[in-house]
């Protein structure tokens, strides 16, 4: 198991490099660019824009820009006169909005050394610190929605399989189709109109907690009302998926020889279905569970935007709109790592659920 896990992690390295190259190419091909995002002020002269472009290196070839982003720029510096100081990139930092802070990120150590640069917004803070403060909100929403999906979806799928063809089975099949067909943004908006301040006024209109000046949000159990609507919106799709997967898997297992043998021995229906059938039916669920856990880390962009939830999904949408390239690149790589780990977790769950499966 350990060798298999390490081998998969090493195999993921070329995948991450490929994703980073593709994402960087898309960033370069996008309209605008870092110069336009940083020097949008009307007081910025064309000469200052040219200086900023030279300092950022946006006129360099693609592979030079990518290596600078990946490895940093200190390896590219040289000392021509031997005075111990690099002799290039000595332009005065541009302050386009007059806030006393340079508009261009400073020298970076590169992504491989944990430096994603500075955000164009958020007070020019380090990108990792901006992401770190959003992770907890995304984890809070993702874990709650995943737990609701598992706690509700799996029992519903088991009961639907046990009562195949009955009223409950047909009702759950219809509801799963409805939940999968309804767009997330429409469901979120309708719930806000119905239960929010302009409707019944039972639940908050959005955000993670009431606006506070000092100390941040209180513990989650003191603000559950803010978590209900966004959790329900995300959990509807997971409930539909888990219930359908569980039903189909359990019906497939019910035709196996060991199920017929258990019934022939005189075991009760509850023991046959829940003890012998359910465990083996959980194996295909692992396929669905890995990407679902990935969704916890990468964030739900639409839901977080609708409910003004301060998570990674909303940060990604804001960064794309603002052309905040360092944050966009960091979020994409973060989501890529989460996806790879999610599918690796699915493979490991196979072996834990079914001892017959051996990973080498």
Residues 83 and 222 occupy one common structural domain: no
3 lies in some domain: no
Residues 164 and 71 occupy one common structural domain: no
Band of pLDDT at residue 199, cut at 50, 70 and 90: low
Among 62, 81, 115, which residue terminates a domain?
115
Give how many domains the chain has, as a whole number.
2
Confidence (pLDDT) at 107: 52
Residues 300 and 169 occupy one common structural domain: yes
Q: What are phi and psi of 118, to 5 degrees?
A: -110, 145
Residues 269 and 303 occupy one common structural domain: yes
Confidence (pLDDT) at 299: 61
Cα 193 from Cα 197, distance rounded (Å): 8
Confidence (pLDDT) at 214: 61
* Most confident option among 107-111, 118-122, 135-139, 260-264: 135-139
52 lies in some domain: yes
Residues 139 and 210 occupy one common structural domain: yes
Cα 82 from Cα 339, distance rounded (Å): 47
What residue ranges in the chain does DSSP mark as E strands?
Answer: none
Residues 226 and 272 occupy one common structural domain: yes
Residues 205 and 306 occupy one common structural domain: yes
314 lies in some domain: yes
Q: Which domain holds residue 314?
A: 128-353
The residue with tokens 């719930």 is: 191
Longest Cα–Cα distance of the chain, Å, equals: 91
Better pLDDT: 15 or 41: 15
Better pLDDT: 98 or 114: 114
Q: Looking at residue 296, which CATH number applies to its domain?
A: 1.10.3720.10
Confidence (pLDDT) at 222: 82
Band of pLDDT at residue 152, cut at 50, 70 and 90: very high
Residues 319 and 239 occupy one common structural domain: yes
Residues 174 and 299 occupy one common structural domain: yes
Residues 264 and 329 occupy one common structural domain: yes
Provide the 10 A C-beta neighbour count for residue 139. Answer: 15
Closest CA to 303 of 353, 229, 246, 244: 229
The residue with tokens 């699915």 is: 346
1 lies in some domain: no
Q: Is the pLDDT of residue 48 over 70?
A: yes
Cα 93 from Cα 90, distance rounded (Å): 9
Residues 94 and 188 occupy one common structural domain: no
Band of pLDDT at residue 74, cut at 50, 70 and 90: low
Q: What is the pLDDT of residues 159-195, one digit of tens each?
A: 888 888 888 989 998 988 888 888 888 998 898 888 8
Residues 76 and 183 occupy one common structural domain: no
β-pair partners for 118 = 126
Calculate what percentage of the chain has a pLDDT beyond 70. Answer: 82
């Amino acid at each position: 198991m350990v060798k298999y896990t390490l081998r998969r992690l090493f195999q993921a390295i070329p995948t991450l490099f490929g994703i980073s190259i593709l994402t960087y190419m898309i960033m370069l091909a996008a309209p605008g660019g870092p110069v336009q995002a940083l020097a949008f002020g009307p007081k910025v002269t064309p000469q200052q824009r040219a200086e900023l472009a030279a300092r950022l290196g946006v006129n360099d070839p693609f592979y030079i820009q990518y290596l600078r982003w990946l490895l940093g720029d200190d390896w590219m510096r040289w000392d021509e006169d031997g005075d111990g100081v690099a002799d290039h990139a000595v332009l005065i930092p541009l302050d386009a909005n007059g806030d006393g802070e340079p508009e261009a990120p400073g020298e970076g150590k590169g992504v491989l050394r944990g430096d994603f640069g500075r955000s164009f917004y958020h007070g020019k803070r380090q990108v990792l610190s901006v992401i770190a403060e959003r992770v907890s909100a995304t984890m809070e929403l993702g874990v709650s929605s995943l737990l609701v999906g598992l706690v509700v979806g799996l029992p519903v799928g088991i009961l639907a399989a046990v009562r195949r063809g009955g009223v409950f089975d047909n009702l759950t099949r219809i509801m799963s189709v409805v939940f999968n067909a309804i767009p997330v943004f429409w469901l979120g908006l309708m719930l806000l109109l119905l239960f929010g301040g302009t409707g019944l006024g039972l639940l908050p209109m959005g955000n993670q907690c009431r606006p506070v000046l000092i100390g941040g949000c209180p513990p989650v159990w003191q603000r559950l009302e803010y978590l209900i609507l966004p959790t329900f919106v995300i959990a509807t799709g997971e409930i539909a998926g888990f219930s359908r997967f569980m039903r189909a898997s359990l019906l497939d297992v019910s035709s196996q020889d060991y199920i017929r043998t258990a019934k022939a021995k005189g075991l009760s229906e509850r023991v046959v279905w829940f003890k012998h059938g359910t465990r083996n039916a959980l194996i295909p669920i692992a396929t669905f569970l890995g990407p679902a856990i990935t969704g916890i880390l990468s964030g739900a962009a639409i839901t977080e935007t609708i409910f003004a939830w301060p998570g990674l999904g909303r940060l990604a949408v804001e960064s794309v709109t603002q052309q905040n390239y360092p944050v966009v690149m960091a979020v994409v790589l973060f989501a890529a790592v989460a996806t790879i780990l999610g599918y690796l977790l699915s493979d490991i769950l196979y072996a834990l659920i079914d001892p017959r499966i051996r990973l080498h």
